[in-house]
Structure 1
Amino acid sequence: MITRSIFSAEHDMWRETVRKFIEKEIVPFHAQWEHDGIVPRELWLKAGEAGLLCCTVKEEYGGLGLDYLFDVVVYEELWRVGASGPGFLIHTDLVATYIQSFGTEEQKLHWLPKMVRGEAIGSLGMTEPHAGSDLKAVRTQAVRDGNEFVINGQKVFISNGQLCDVLVLATKTDTSAGAKGVTLFLVEGDREGFKRGQNLEKLGMKAQDTSELFFDNVRIPPSNMLGAEGQGFVHMMTKLPQERLAQAVRSAMVTETVIEWTADYTAERMAFGQSIAEFQNTQFVLADLKARALSARVFTDKCIELFMNDELDPVDAAMAKMVTSELHCETVDKCLQLFGGWGYMWEYPIARAYADARIVKIAGGSIEIMKTIIARDMFKGRIKPRPKAG
């Protein structure tokens, strides 16, 4: 069996630490959090104290300055037990990364230590009712008024929206400039005029708070701008490969885990005088999924390696996200079938994995967008421009 060579002994020790934390602080309470639709802020503080948040943040900003694989271990161990509630990935992999990459020294010193400790929870405000994958079409506006920007607009499907203390917000500062009119801001959760809508009821990932957010004449100083004015779209594009890689990491882990659950279950479950695992259909279904899961794992780990060497390009990230997401959804569907009626019961992890899975073909860019990115790269230079008629 191919072993994962990207992790060192230090990463393996970290995995044991993370696994113990999750088994103690998350697993016993996750079902209640699914019912509540949110995790308690106390969990964030405990995770911060244990070092599970923002592992790659530099020491001068309160972090440990570790490599990306330490964050990967945290995500994998959460997904291994089906703990979809804690929005650590959004907080760590996106918000902290945006601040560390594009923030001013003042912004980094103010927010990153709090985020490492779990005292400030981060969220990413990009998706709007009329702008999902088309980020340059955002309508939320930030208009300069004297020495302030005034923000008006709406966001939707925002993970950590109910709890967030800081929001990386995509706005339009120039509505006539298209992508060049997009600017990012850091918006504090207690700003006057910033309102949180209802905690949205989702198909899956029920313990993770997901909200509508409203901005009614929210005033912020220019010092809250993240990066340069008009460069927000460029900043977002530079981070999308990392976001898509994280989705691939998730799908690869869940796919492997669900196959193992199903192999265990079918070996014990009896039907017609033999275990379900003894039927050729069961063996063929699981053998096919396992072989493809290993292929997806090898590709994903290679993309992690490329990312850590600053060599992961958007096309490779799109392919990893597309392949693993589609396999993820196919696997939970076929494996639930092998659980029979019990697989449809919420008390069984396979049922929750099935519900949680469907978002992976949407989040981080839809499958259709991934195919467009891949095809555009394939045919670049191959398809010749057609002469204009007339």
Structure 2
Amino acid sequence: MAPTCARRGSPGPAGSRPEGLPLAWRPLRPSPWLARPTGHSPDMVAVARWEDRPHPPGFAVYGFEMLSSSWAFGRPSCRAQRVPVGLPVSRGRIDRFQEGSAMDFAPSVYEHAAALIERTPWEASREADLLFAAHAEAYRRYHHRPVVVGIDIYNLEAEAYGGVVEPPQGVGVPAIRRPVLASAAELLELDPLEPACDGRIPMVVEVAARLAAHFPEADIRVPVSGPFSIATNLVGCERLLSEVAEAPQQVAIGLMHLVEGQVAFCRAVRARGLDIAFFESAAAPPLLSPAAFRRIELPALRRTLGEAATVVGHPVPCVIGGDTTPILDAILETGTGYVVCPIETDQQAFMQRIWDRTDVRVRVNTSAEVMTRGSWEEIRAEVDRIVRLTADRPNVCLGTGALPYETPPENVLRVKAYCRQLAQAR
């Protein structure tokens, strides 16, 4: 049973579904490594240095591009990556750095994980053992990065603040359907989250820790929602958008009030040796106009990501679905090193706008409809489309958005194999 807090209500039912965030790397060429054992686990080593390059004191220079991972992190660059010497990196990761790849495949697995253990999303989202079993099975099958621990990942904080997650019919995704606040002004009356006892947050963090212990080579992430997504669940989408038009300053103040709780959540995750995945899809156009995004959402988003980056020690990926091309410049102002190019936006225009920002990793999403219901010819054509779209642009990976519950596992495995085939052909 999920823990509850005496100060807040019980975890009731659960909500929407966002996307995951892939972490991956692409080697530029094979590199010689010096490694030494660490105390973390038998298959872990600490990278000492890359011998044939000058490097500043206290840093190792690696011949690969990399986004942040659980053990080694930093901003990617076109030629080399610098991170503090001695950070532990798995032997398997070093092997993969040396092997190289044309494009990494990073499926987003949430409610789909429940299908792999023949449970409903509701069941898998409410019981720790089922949540563990679902994501463990997904990782055994797909070996995807990252593993974002959750089923209804946008519900955690809103539920902890008192929202009621309702059981869906059949294999639907749990959701918060009834707002518990009358306006954005009431956000100011909420006490900051207490991650140790509020809602299902302790359960999810504990399951993430179990997964990290069971799969030390995996990149395990705890989902953290952005302020607008939390407010949407608590106030209701229609009411909140009305206030964006009628009382924008009040909404902005309410969003800023939520930042403290999210930073506390990040600290609790980091205290367990884990990392975070940040999601804020409710704030994207067409729900929120580009002007409103910049004026109302961006101040709280920038502060949240900035403080989260300080907590975890590296720039935090910012996963926002929807038509994000018009707000891409604002997203980049948060300092994130990782963004998603959603299927809902003009992907060509998005890539043109971010093309020269090779310090930022871009996950380009495929169509979930094609991944779930398409023939293999249609799925392969979709992958080829993205490969052409990103050709010659470093620091990209192929994503899926949230895989629907009913996605055939063989489709995911075939895409992974096809990406490997493309890598070998280069």
Choose between structure 1 and 2 for higher RCO, CA contacts under 8 A separated by at least 6 residues.
2
- TM-score (normalised: structure 2): 0.25
Structure number with larger C-alpha Rg = 1
Higher helix fraction: Structure 1 or Structure 2? Answer: 1
